[in-house]
Amino acid sequence: MHKILARIHRPSWVGKTVERVSRVHLPSGAMCQNAEVKHSAIQMPPCDFKPDPYQGMSKERLLEIRKQNCHPMTMKVTYYKRPVFIAQGHMQWLWDVDGRRYLDLFAGVATVSVGHSHPKVNEAAVKQLNRLWHTTVIYIYPQIQEYAEKLASLLPEPLKVVYLTNSGSEANDLAMLMARLHTGNFDIITLSGSYHGGSPQSLGLTANSVYKYPVASGSGCHTTMCPDVFHGLWGGKHCRDSPVQTIRDCSCSPGHCEANDRYIEQLKEMLCTTVPNRIAAFFGEAIQGVGGAVQYPKNYLKETYKLVRDKGGLCIADEVQTGFGRTGSHFWGFQGHDVIPDIVTMAKGIANGFPMGAVVTTKEIASSFAKGVHFNTFGGNPMACVIASSVLDTIVENGYQENSAKVGTYLLNELAKLRDKYEIVGDVRGKGLMIGVEMVTDKTSRAPLPAEDMDEIFEDAKDMGVLIGKGGIYGQTFRIKPPLCITKADADFFLAVFDQALHNYTERR
């Protein structure tokens, strides 16, 4: 801890205004000119942390090894035409091997919940590292019991039984197995555009062809229409539980959503035509993550849960991205829909990037699963439990859920102003720090902005010092899911950068 504190100082360039140039990647604080499109002066917020000098392999050698020795899929998913070579992180900031600083608004795909290398979490990890790295549940050790009790205390009754895994895909696989064993049924329903993992079983739940392979996977999984009130068949201007509504018009009476009625009718038809009379489960995210921060009409999940239970199925909430205070108003995303699932799956932010996942369910469902033996070597090991426990403490003690609501709402409202300013910004949506900005060719057609156009804006924001994500079925949605520790000053910096990137794009047309 003393070593960490000793490295903190205020860089000499902090507070200076930086002028950044389109299509040129500049170090923080650099000044230059460009004959193309010049960015107006945008000041990066100060950071009193000095990263260690990078002394590792050259960028050329790193790329060479990545191409030769790493699976080709790693090159396929590498972000940016001019990749970012990350060397170190601290809270909401990342530094590359050249010492350039970036505001991280994607958090390792919504995974770094409390901040990169958070001092409190680091301290807990180091302390446990020196005591006991690993043992398994064949023995009784305090860390897993302590964490299970703490996690269960944050969930409503009767969700009090915890099974720990290593990832979200693994947690969703396990939830599928539990649902089938408990109900005696087989078929499972999910929404189009959803992403629930990349394992052979969870791929059946993932309804996006980009992640599919031409092999048998996820037998018994079925997809129903996603109630996307912006891009879907039906929508309106009062549908979502969000500070920002769609630009679509509607004639719904107060308190009634006709779009919701239509999407529920589609689900009823699917239940009558596609699956057996008895089903095992329905899987749903509170807000779609990889799908592009898609939100449903306010009562959709509540009505869906009733229909599923009438068919003998369990309701499973995938909180891999929406959990742990990210949506701001509640600790769990499903709480914003006024429902209580039968099973909850979680991962990503659960341990701030340390590999961990969990399935939480009822005693009754857990008893059905206990009829056989399921063993996980690494799930719930002491290191994972201590880190995850420290993450829970940090979220509560630092008020990160409240910060997510405050900064997230501010971001959404300000992004809505950019939507009104630019024809290519079709929709702004989300809750807390689970935000999507859907890009279109024009607001009338709502046709997705082409991939190459998305990449221009994406690269430009990166070159100005901001890292964001992409999602949606057509890759048309910018995903903003930062560590929950970001500040209003960080939000203002991003808004200025994003505004400039959009302006640059329109100027080039």
Q: Which residue shows structure tokens 């993932």? A: 206
- The answer to whether domain 2-114+400-508 and domain 189-316 are alike in fold is no
> Would you identify the CATH topology of the domain 2-114+400-508?
Aspartate Aminotransferase, domain 1 (3.90.1150)
Q: What is the pTM of this model?
A: 0.91
Nearest Cα to Cα of residue 290 among 139, 172, 179, 115: 172
Structure token pair of residue 331 = 């600790």
pLDDT of residue 39: 52
- Residue 30, judged by CB atoms within 10 A of its CB (0-12, 13-18, 19+), counts as middle
Question: How far is C-alpha 342 from the chain's CA centre?
Answer: 22
Q: Which stretches of the chain drop beneath a pLDDT of 50?
A: 1-38
Taking every pair of Cα atoms in the chain, the longest distance, rounded to a whole number of angstroms, is 70
Helix axes 382-397, 142-152, angle to 10 degrees: 40
Residues 6 or more apart in contact with residue 427 via CB below 8 angstroms: 230, 231, 246, 247, 419, 436, 437, 438, 440
Q: Distance between CA atoms of 239 and 260, rounded to whole angstroms?
A: 8
pLDDT of residue 93: 98
Q: Which residue shows structure tokens 């979200």? A: 168
**Residues 363, 309, 238: CA angle, nearest 5 degrees:** 115
Domain positions in the chain: 2-114+400-508, 189-316
Sheet holding 357-361, edge to edge: 161-165, 357-361, 343-346, 314-318, 281-285, 188-191, 221-224
454 close to 442: Cβ distance less than 8 angstroms: no
CATH code of the domain made up of 189-316:
3.40.640.10
96 close to 86: Cβ distance less than 8 angstroms: yes
Sheet holding 101-104, edge to edge: 86-90, 93-96, 101-104, 466-467
pLDDT of residue 40: 52
Residue 95, classed as helix, strand or coil, is strand
Q: Distance between CA atoms of 386 and 378, rounded to whole angstroms?
A: 14
pLDDT of residue 20: 34
Strands annotated E in 350-493: 357-361, 425-431, 434-439, 466-467, 469-471, 477-480
**For the chain, how many helices (H) and strands (E)?**
14, 15
Structure token pair of residue 75 = 């090159």
Q: Distance between CA atoms of 429 and 303, rounded to whole angstroms?
A: 22
pLDDT of residue 254: 82
Structure token pair of residue 371 = 């009829």
Other residues' Cβ atoms within 10 Å of the Cβ of residue 456: 18
The C-alpha torsion from 443 through 448 and 451 to 456, rounded to 10°, is 20
pLDDT of residue 14: 31
pLDDT tens readout for residues 396-446:
999 999 999 999 999 999 999 999 999 999 999 999 999 999 999 999 999
pLDDT of residue 87: 97
Q: Distance between CA atoms of 63 and 67, rounded to whole angstroms?
A: 6
